[in-house]
Amino acid sequence: MIEIQRPTFEASDPDVEASNPESWVSLRRFLSSRNRGAYLWGPCGTGKTFGAECILAQVDSVSVVTAPEFVRIMRLFSPGESLKKWKFTKILLLDDIDKANWKPADVRSLWEVLNARMKAYKLTSYTDHPTEENTLLVNTTFKARKTIITGNVQADELRSFLTNCADGNITLIQSLFQRLHPIQVLEFKGKSLR
């Protein structure tokens, strides 16, 4: 049997960490942060996907999909089937967001997935212990549904790119990014380590 080793922070390449030390510190803290989203950007081969995979190795429920695969899956299956796959996974990694041939309907599908993940984030339960005013107590718990996106362009360029793909629907793109809020934007620099 072949065992595939998942990347971990402990076994990461020192060259990757040395070229982007601030980003690596932030990545190590991502799971415990209140950030719902992270956008890792920079040139090819600088450790964005590797860093995201180090985070994924710490969690038992993850989904990894490249943006071209995401677009293909959303076009092949009904939105309900696709949403089930990505709604409750603890972390969704959408890799290479700027490499897909997005159409307006695809951007809307991405919004639907992120919206479903945002709604799954906050769970409210009610107890039957009345207060002095004879009302129910409300307990709110937060289940982290984090999304990591990688790409080669700066966050502002990504917004412009997606706005163009959505036929100029800036409201949709603003709403899409709000579903990742608070989002951590991390730059990866340096030469390709591939």
Q: How far is CA 103 from CA 65, 93, 100, 135, 171, in A?
A: 18, 20, 9, 48, 16
pLDDT score of 153 more than 80: yes
Q: If residue 60 lies in a helix (H) or strand (E), which one and from where to where?
A: none
Q: Which residues contact 6 (CB under 8 A, 6 or more apart)?
A: 53, 56, 57
pLDDT number for residue 136: 43
The per-residue pLDDT for range 23-65, each reduced to its tens digit, is 999 999 998 888 889 999 999 999 999 999 999 988 888 889 9
Compute the average pLDDT of residues 16-24.
Answer: 87
Lowest-confidence pick of 17-26, 118-127, 136-145: 136-145
What is the reported pTM? 0.85
pLDDT score of 145 more than 50: yes
Mean pLDDT of the chain: 85
Structure tokens at 77: 């299956």
Q: If residue 87 lies in a helix (H) or strand (E), which one and from where to where?
A: helix 79-87
pLDDT number for residue 60: 82
Higher pLDDT, 104 or 123: 104
pLDDT number for residue 40: 97
- Give the Cα separation of 185 and 177 in Å (integer): 12
Domains in the chain (CATH in brackets) are: 15-187 (3.40.50.300)
Compute the average pLDDT of residues 7-33.
Answer: 84
pLDDT number for residue 98: 97
The per-residue pLDDT for range 83-118, each reduced to its tens digit, is 777 888 889 999 999 999 999 999 999 999 999 888
